[in-house]
Amino acid sequence: MKFLSYLINGISLGSVYAIIALGYTMVYGIAKMLNFAHGDVIMVGAYAAFACIMNASLPPYAAVLVAIVVCTVLGVLIETVAYRPLLSAASSLAVLITAIGVSYFLQNVVLLIFGANAKSFQSVVSLPNLKLADGALNISGVTIVTVISCILIMLALTAFISRTKTGQAMLAVSEDKGAAQLMGINVNGTIAVTFAIGSGLAAIAGVLLCSAYPSLSPYTGSMPGIKAFTAAVFGGIGSIPGAFLGGLLLGIIEILAKGYISTELSDAIVFSVLIIILLVKPTGLLGRKMQEKV
């Protein structure tokens, strides 16, 4: 029963990682850049929801909607102002370093507005706990909502990419920007939409994360951001099912390591597993082999 309880917690945490990892993997797949500020967008989303609930007394669902809108706008803004002018630059390092800069910028802006003290985040989920097996297995409402959200997001995203014109444009841009333009696809617009979707998902992840782990500070996003990035690489960066699988596995490994081995060592174990997987399969679990263009 202990194992089952750990497993469910792992799936729940993994679902959050998966939602964040989707943002990393989509942006990487389409813009070929690592958006290291993605973790901080999560934190901004959580603060937006926090402010709506605490200061504006909005109901939780409205707070989540506001957070999604704030992060979507923020994502597009970051892309147009900070990254787009550099995407055509010779060095991809320039974009990478800018992303790190944006990350610190967001942390410090939030620090300035809300202060350094951790806020106690009020869960947006008011579902009662689910007690199974005579109370031996206790599943929280947040866990249920998190897992369901992750599955719905995954299904919606897959349908969006295979069924809509914008989704098809994303596939084309991810393969060959020049050829995509020749098809009449607006590459910059498609990249902006990708950032919008990834950042909107980050807001959902932020709210779910802080509902489960209610301490919110300007640095709340960095560790989950790095873990989710790891999950994206673990699953095969650029692959959407890979991000899903990588996120879930990472969450499960982390919680099992915490439960059975050591809380202090859990992160070390998680990253060791990543290193081993990458040594065996450098493209990640579901990653495609990169084809060298002749």
Partner 1 sequence: MAMLEVKDLNVYYGVIQAIKGVSFSVDEGEVIALIGANGAGKTTILHTVTGLVAPKSGSIIFEGKVITKVPAHKIVSLGMAHVPEGRRVFAQLSVLQNLKMGAFTRKDKDEVEHTLEAVYRRFPRLEERRNQLAGTLSGGEQQMLAMGRALMSKPRIILMDEPSMGLSPILVDEIFDIIRSVSAGGTTVLLVEQNAKKALGIADRAYVLETGTIVKEGVASQLLEDDAIRKAYLGE
The helix (run of H) or strand (run of E) holding residue 131 is strand 130-132
3-state secondary structure of 237: coil
Residue 143 and residue 123 in contact, taking contact as beta carbons nearer than 8 Å? no
Question: Interacting stretch for partner 1, rule CB under 8 A, among 111-119, 256-264, 267-275, 286-294?
Answer: 286-294
Q: Does 248 bind partner 1 (CB under 8 A)?
A: no
**How, if at all, do strands 215-216 and 130-132 pair?**
unpaired
Applying CB under 8 A, the site for partner 1 has a residue count of 21
Q: Does 171 bind partner 1 (CB under 8 A)?
A: yes
Residue 15 and residue 247 in contact, taking contact as beta carbons nearer than 8 Å? yes
Q: Does 294 bind partner 1 (CB under 8 A)?
A: yes
Structure tokens at 209: 């994360």
Pick the closer one to partner 1 by CB: 141 or 167: 167
The one among 88, 178, 290, 292 contacting partner 1 by CB under 8 A: 178
Pick the closer one to partner 1 by CB: 31 or 203: 31
38 alpha-carbon distance from chain centroid? 7
Question: Interacting stretch for partner 1, rule CB under 8 A, among 7-15, 96-104, 168-176, 264-272?
Answer: 168-176
The helix (run of H) or strand (run of E) holding residue 246 is helix 240-256
Question: Interacting stretch for partner 1, rule CB under 8 A, among 7-15, 30-38, 179-187, 205-213?
Answer: 179-187
Hey, what amino acid is at 152? Answer: L
Q: Does 240 bind partner 1 (CB under 8 A)?
A: no
Q: Does 133 bind partner 1 (CB under 8 A)?
A: no
Query: How crowded is residue 135: how many other Cβ atoms within 10 Å of its Cβ?
Result: 8
What are the residues binding partner 1 (CB under 8 A)?
A: 165, 168-169, 171-172, 175-176, 178-187, 288, 291, 293-294
